[in-house]
Every structure is written in C-alpha cells, then in structure tokens.
Amino acid sequence: MKAEIIAVGTELLLGDITNTNARYLSEQLAGLGTEVYFESVVGDNKDRLLGAFKDSFARADIVITTGGLGPTDDDITKETGAEFFGRELVLDEDALENIKSYFKNRGMSQTNIKQAYVPKGSVVLKNERGTAPGIIIEEQNKILVMLPGPPSEMEYMFENSVKPYLRGREKHIICSRTLRLTGIGESDAAEVIRELMANSTNPTIAPYAKEDGVYFRITARGGSAEECHNLIAPAAEEIYSRLGEYIYGENETTLARAVVNLLIERNISLAVAESLTGGMLSSAIVDIEGVSKIFREGFVTYTNESKADTLGVSRDVLKNYGAVSRETAGEMAKGAAMRAGAELGVATTGIAGGGAVKNPTPNNEDLSYDKPVGRVYLGLYYKGKIITKELNIKGDRQKIRKTAVVRMLDFIRKNVDDELS
C-alpha cells in the first residue's frame, strides 16, 4: 500500500513550528511495509486542503493528516475530510464525554464541543492525552486517517490505535539498518561501495550526510523481520569490510555514545579542556548516560591567562606560538589530565569567526602570520604522550564549533582504539 502524509496548519508554513510528525509517521509506516512517496504541508484553507486530498488520493491508498482538529474556526481538517467523502458531521457522545472529563477540574469552553462532532460512519479514536479525537474514514479502498497535531497526542494515538488498524493489511514489512560513519565525506564513502549500491535492489543502500558524519541506510522488504535482517546482513558485512575503520556505530548510536562506551569499556578516565568549543564538547559527552564512570572534569579556558593559570600552559608557548597552535592544544590536553587526575586529556582551540588573528612567530616577534577562520587544533594526552591534529573547517561560527566537537570525538575514538588494539 502507498501512503501520503499531509500536515495541516499555517503555522507550519510560517516556520513557527517544526514538522516533526512527518518524520515519525514515515518511520512508522515503513515499519508496517507501507511506502510513503509524498509529504506535504497545507495551510488552514479548505479549498487548498480539498485539492491536497484530491491529489493525494489519486496517488495513494492511505492519507494521514496531522493537525487542524482543534476547537477554533481555523481548525478545518475534519470538516474538509467529511466534505471530501460526502459525509455529514454527527455528535459522538463518547468523544464528548472524553472532552468533558479532560476539562473536569478546569471548566470547558463551549467551543470544545466542536471537537466531538465526527464524520458519520467513521472510526473514532479516543484521545488519551488531549481533547481532539482521531478519525478514520474508509471508503472504496481509500483510507483517510486524521490525527491531532501535538506530537505527544499524535504518536500515542498512532501507536495504540492506528498501527493496529493498519497492521495486517500489508503482506510485507520493511526493515532498515543504519551504519554510521565519521572521518570520511559522503561522496568518498559512496565511491567505495558504488557498485554495491548500484547492484542492490533488495536490500537497497542509501547514503546521506549528517552533522556527525555519513549514514548508510540498508533497507529490505520481506515477509518477516527475520527475512529482512537476513537480506540486510550480507550488505552490512561488505560495507564493514570496506569502510569499517570509519564506522563508529549503528542505528541510534551517536558518536558521543560510542566514545563514552569505549572509555567505559576500557576504564579510561577523561578530562576536557576547551577554548574554541566553549563547553560544547563536555556537554556532548555528559549528555550520555553512565558518563560519570569516566568523566572527571571539564575546563573552559578562553583567555591566555586562564590557559596558563588553570591548565598550566607555558606562557612562553602562548607567546611564541599563540593560543591557536599545536603546542597550546597539546599543553591544554596534558594540563587538563594533570589537574583532574585523569588518564586521558583532550583539548580544542581554534578560530571560529571574527576574522584572522595574528600571533608572533617563534623566531621574530616583529613579524606575524595569519591564522584563518576555521583553523582548529585538537590536542590529546594519553599515557605520557601528546598527539595533536590541525583542521581547517569551512563554515560559519556555529558550524566550525560543532564540526570541531565531532572531529574531537572521532580523534578520541581512533587514538584510544589504536593505542589499545
């Protein structure tokens, strides 16, 4: 079966609200074996919504809408759906009782009664987390599912009511397995497995770039989850054989999670020193559950004085090489480890924006050299050894800082692995 998703609401078109519902529904429908070819957003306008229904049902068997089921005059999804199928609206007593119960201790506005009217002959889905009931209209092998807009209401209703309604209508299911890579670009990674992607039909292999690296999603269609997984496994093994050094995790495993898990597994304590990233690296790490087992301390040392006073970076190094240098990054990493009593110390320093900076050269303080925006140095101290890396990152201030966090996490992953492998 083919499905389409229509998000209803002028606020979505204005950018006031992010449409997260479409992503959730696409993932859920894929799991049911239902293919989604089109998604659209329509404002609170009956004529345009009627047009969207006409176009969608010409292509799809199932149309799912989110939003526009509220009590106000601009909530027109239900009324428009009823008109499209030529059905009158009738009062549903169960829906009305649910609305009254919801407002039991707060007082109910008369406008909320509007939500209890549903298209005649429709399936009414109880809203356990709000007031607007969900509605299913099925006619001549076409199914319209109308769900409330708030994600907490929509997701609960889909999981508990819509999914059971749709399950079993498909003879096949779709399963995916996502391999996450970092340290290699999308085009380079895709080139390595170019013929594998070209020759794969079931499963299919699709690359896409994200902030933390490149993902390869391997998707198979089969009669059962086991059949899908058996189809996916050989393709995944082949990608591992060619690109394994760049793969840090699968599915929902983030790079930060992979690094924290590695340090916990190896029982390696960590301290972080940041200049460029200003706490972003520490934040990404401490977001991970269980990190207290290895994380000792984080330092944000933005000025030369704090680098010297807090981390013990040599003032001669700062004078001769500058705050943005391999030498300073290395001493920051070592200083963080020493101050925190950690086995592993890491550091970031660089230029995130505001033009180039000038630092005195080591041999002649009357001369200067430019360090461009995007010049970043990573430092890592482990087992008495300092390792540094120079990066040149393109983008605005936030992209440079976010990319530096990703590259630092990968730097930890690779060097700890190399050291102990």
Backbone angles phi, psi at 342, to 5 degrees: -105, 155
The b-or-e profile of 367-391 (16+ CB within 10 A means b, else e) is eeeebebbbbbbbbbbeeebbbbeb
Tokens 């730097």 sit on residue: 411
- DSSP-assigned letter for residue 4: E
Radius of gyration for the chain, computed over Cα atoms and rounded to the nearest angstrom: 28
pLDDT at 353: 80
Provide the CB-side half-sphere exposure for 364 (13 A, CA). 4
Fold for the domain defined by 255-420: Maf protein (3.90.950)
How far apart CA 120 and CA 229 sit, in angstroms, is 43
Pick the closest to residue 278 from 298, 257, 254 (CA basis). Answer: 298
* pLDDT for res 418: 60
Residues of the chain with CATH 3.90.950.20: 255-420
pTM confidence score? 0.74
The values of phi and psi at residue 358, to 5°, are -115, 130
Residue range(s) occupied by CATH 3.30.70.2860 in the chain: 174-250
The answer, yes or no, to whether the previous bond of 360 is cis (omega within 30 of 0) is: no
Amino acid occupying residue 161: S
Distance, in Å, from the CA atom of 311 to the CA atom of 337, rounded to the nearest integer, reads 9
Return the amino acid letter for 187.
Answer: S
Residue 357 half-sphere exposure toward CB, CA atoms < 13 A: 17
The fold of the 2-166 domain, in CATH, is: Molybdenum Cofactor Biosythetic Enzyme; Chain A (3.40.980)
Site of tokens 């479409």:
22
Residue 35 confidence (pLDDT)? 86
CATH architecture of 174-250: 2-Layer Sandwich (3.30)
Q: Which residue, chain included where needed, has tokens 């428009």?
A: 80
Per DSSP, helices labelled H in 254-314 are: 255-266, 280-286, 304-311
CA-angle at 371, arms to 365 and 375, nearest 5°: 140
pLDDT of residue 354: 63
Alpha-carbon gap, residue 143 to 257, rounded angstroms = 41
From first to last of its 421 residues, what are the pLDDT tens digits of the chain? Answer: 899 999 999 999 999 998 999 999 998 998 888 889 999 999 999 999 999 999 999 999 999 999 999 999 889 999 999 999 999 999 999 999 999 998 887 878 888 899 999 999 999 999 999 999 999 999 999 999 999 999 999 999 999 999 999 987 777 888 899 999 999 999 999 999 999 999 989 999 999 888 888 999 999 989 888 999 999 999 999 999 999 999 999 999 999 999 999 999 999 999 999 999 999 999 999 999 999 999 999 999 999 999 999 999 999 999 999 999 999 999 999 999 999 999 999 999 999 986 544 554 444 443 234 689 999 999 999 999 999 999 999 999 999 999 999 999 999 999 987 654 4
Contact 298, 274 (CB under 8 A): yes
Give start-end residues of each CATH 3.40.980.10 domain in the chain.
Answer: 2-166
Tally Cβ neighbours within 10 Å of residue 319. Answer: 13
Taking only the tens place, the pLDDT of each residue in 249-272 is 999 999 999 999 999 999 999 999
- Tell me how far apart the alpha carbons of residues 162 and 168 are, in angstroms, rounded to a whole number: 12
Q: 397-408 pLDDT, tens per residue?
A: 999 999 999 999
H helix runs in 175-254, sequence order = 186-192, 194-198, 225-243
405: tokens are 């966090």
Looking at residue 362, its pLDDT comes to 46
Query: Tokens for 264?
Result: 């916990």
Q: Are 218 and 232 in contact (CB under 8 A)?
A: yes
